[in-house]
Chains A and B, each alone.
Chain A
C-alpha cells in the first residue's frame, strides 16, 4: 500500500468533508498504483488546499486562484509528470476562473479537484461563485446578487474534449472513481466535488 500521509495531523474541523476528499485521493493513488516519483500535486489556497501539509508527495502550495497556471507550467516543462490540482471553488471558479477556462481550452493533461461547498470557509463564510443567488452570507447580508457558476456545463461549453464531472462527498466511491478516471484520461479533467461546510453551510439555510 502506498501511504502518502504526512506526519502532520489535519487541521480541518471535525466532520469536515475535506477528510473524505483526502481519503479518496489516498484511495485513488493506490488504485492506480501510481509512481510517486512522477506525481506532483498543486494546491490552491483555502481549507481544501491546506491538504498540502497533510500529504507527503512532491507538492506546490501556490497562491489563491493560481493553482491551475502553476500546474500548467509544471506540465509544459515536464509532460511526463502526473499533475493533480486540489482547490476550492473560491480559488478555481472565482479568483482563478480565467485560468480554468484557459486550461480547458488548452485541454492540457491535468486533473483538477474542486472542493465545492458554496462558501468561502477559511475566511469564515462569505459568498462564493457557487453560492445560490439570494443567499445571505457575511459579505452579502442582503442576499448574493449573482447567479451561481455551473462548472460542468461551463467546461462542456468551452471544450467538448475536456472532461468535467460532478460528484458528491456523500458518495465517496464515486469521488475516488472520478479521480482515477481523471488521472487516466490524458486531457483536462475537472472533478467538481459537492461538499458541506460543517461550520458555515448552515447559514445558507437561514
Chain B
C-alpha cells in the first residue's frame, strides 16, 4: 500500500471535522503528506457529516473516494459486517477521541506522536488522553490479525518542512497579508467565512483592519473607499454575495481603484447547495460588472497556489489599479493539506501610483471623466476614457500568471482544466505519459498563447466541475478552440481520482 484513506462519519456536533483534523495533524507530524475532503449539510446539529483523509509518503493531490477504514460515530454504516468492529464509545464529547485512539492502533501510527498532538491540542486536563488510551487499548485487545495489512510500504517517511496544516482560506489570506493587505471586509458566506474568521482573529497581529458590514454591497463599497484612502483592500464572498458586489466591480473599473475579490464558488443558482462544491461561476465572474473595463480573474489549482494567487492578486490590483478576482471553490477553501510555514514567506510589495488624500485634489468618479476626474460627456473624452481603461488590460497581461503545462513528449492527448480539478487530474495521471495536462491560471485576460499550446495536441479533453463547460465556452469564444471530449460533473461533489481514471482509460 502506498496510500491510506480514512473516513470519519457522524452527525454534526459530534466533532467529525475536529477528529479529522486531529488525525491530519498526527499523520503530518509522523512525516506523511495528506489531502482531505469534508461533506456536510447546511445545518448546525444532526444531519450527516463526513471527513475524509488520504495520507501517503508522497504528495497527495486529492483524496481517494474509497476509504480503507471508515469510522462511524453512529450505528448507521453497517454495510460491511465482516470487517466491522463495534468500539464501545461513550455518549459524550470524548467519543471522537476514543475513536481516534482505536484508529491509531488500526493504522499502525506512532502512539507517542499521537499523544503529543493530543496534549498540544487539548492542554493537560487529561480527559482526552484517557479517552485516547481507552480507544487504543480496546483496539489492541480486540482487533485481530487481518488488520495488519494496513501499513504503508515505504519506509522513508519525511515531509520535510511541510508541517503546517492549512486550508485554502487560510492560505489565500496569508497570500493577501504577505502582499501587503491592510483592509479586509466580508459578509459571512460559505465557503469563504474561514478567511473572515482567520483575519478577524489575527487582525492586530497582522496589521489588517477587518470589518463585517451590513451587506455585500457595503463590503465592496468599503473596500473601495479604503483603497481610495491609500489602503490595500480585499473582500471575500461566494456567488450570491458576488452578485451584489458586481456594481462595485464595475465602479472599480471606472475609477481605477484596485480591490481583490476572493470568490469561493459553491453550487448555484440562488442559494443552491451552500456547503458543496462547484465551478459554475467562471463566466459570471469573467463578465461581471456592467460596461467595458479592465479586470483580472485568477484561479488557484490547489491550497498552496491559493497563497501564491493571494499575493499576486493584491499586487496586480495595486500595480494596475483594477479589480482582481480570485476564483476559488469549496474544495480549495475548506480543504486542508500540509504546507510549509507561510507566515515566514517574504513577498515583494508593488505599490499603487494612484492619488490618495493629502496628495492634492482629485475626483474619483463613477461617471466618465478626464484626467482630473471631472465628468465628461464629449465624444473625444468618452473615447479617451474607454481606451485608457481598456489599455490597462493589455499591459496587465504580461504580469498575469502563465499556464502550467505538464507531460512528456510522448503525450498526444491533452487535458485542459482550471481551479480545483487539478488535484484529481494529477492523481488520475500518476504514472501515465499518454496524457499531457494544461492548467489555465489566468482566466481573464485570456492569453492567446494558450491556443497555440492546445492546438499542438491531437486530442483535446476539457474537464470542469460544472454543467456547461464554461472554460470551453470561453476558449471557443476567444480562440475558436474545439474540444474532442468534455468531462463534466455538476452534482455538488468534486471529481475523485477513480472516476477520472475510468473516464480516461
Contact = CB atoms under 8 A, between A and B. Distances in A.
A binds B: yes
Interface in B220-235: 221-231, 233
B363 A53 contact: yes
Interface string B399-431: 000000000000000000000000000000000
Contacts of A56: 361
A138 interface: no
Interface in B430-485: none
A77 B225 contact: yes
Contacts of A74: 225-226, 228-229, 357
Nearest to A59: B363
Contacts of B248: 63, 66
Given A53-B363, A61-B363, A74-B225, A8 B247 contact: no
B361 A76 contact: no
Given A37-B357, A59-B364, A61-B364, A98 B225 contact: no
A40 B365 contact: no
Interface in A47-101: 50, 52-53, 56-63, 66, 69-78, 81, 98-99, 101
A76 B211 contact: yes
Interface string A1-25: 0000010100000000000000000
B247 A60 contact: no
B434 to A, nearest CB: 53
Nearest to B360: A58
B351 to A, nearest CB: 15
Contact of A81 (B229, B251, B364): B229
A8 to B, nearest CB: 6
Contact of A70 (B209, B225, B374, B375): B225
B374 A53 contact: yes
Nearest to B221: A69
Interface residues of B, number: 40
A190 interface: no
B222 A63 contact: no
A73 B223 contact: yes
Size category of the A interface is: 35 or more
A36 B366 CA distance: 22
Interface in A109-134: none
Contact of B209 (A53, A76, A99): A76
Contacts of B227: 73, 77
Nearest to B365: A61
A45 interface: yes
B366 A8 contact: no
A87 to B, nearest CB: 13
Contacts of A36: 361
7 contacts: A38-B358, A40-B229, A42-B225, A76-B225, A77-B182, A77-B226, A81-B229
Contacts of B349: none
B290 to A, nearest CB: 11
B183 interface: yes
Q: Which 10 A-B pairs have the closest CB atoms?
A: A73-B225, A73-B222, A69-B221, A77-B226, A69-B218, A77-B229, A102-B214, A77-B231, A74-B225, A70-B225
Interface of B: 182-183, 185, 209, 211, 213-215, 217-218, 221-231, 233, 247-248, 251, 255, 355, 357-358, 360-367, 373-375
Contacts of A71: 225
Contacts of A62: 221, 224, 251, 366
Contact of A72 (B217, B225, B360): B225
A49 to B, nearest CB: 10
B366 A61 contact: yes
Contact of A58 (B231, B361, B365): B361
A69 B225 contact: yes
B175 to A, nearest CB: 20
A116 B365 CA distance: 23
A58 B362 contact: yes
Nearest to B259: A73
Given A78-B357, A81-B357, A60 B363 contact: yes
A60 to B, nearest CB: 4
Interface in A128-176: none
Given A40-B357, A66-B217, A78-B230, A52 B223 contact: no
A58 B357 contact: yes
Contact of B373 (A45, A59, A69, A72): A59
Best-buried of B226, B361, B363, B364 by chain A (most CB within 10 Å):
B363
A57 B228 CA distance: 14
A91 B355 CA distance: 26
A72 B367 CA distance: 21
Contact of A52 (B217, B228, B358, B365): B365
A37 B255 CA distance: 21
Given A52-B365, A66-B221, 15 more contacts: A60-B255, A60-B363, A62-B221, A62-B251, A72-B213, A72-B218, A72-B222, A73-B183, A73-B185, A73-B221, A74-B229, A77-B182, A77-B183, A77-B226, A99-B221
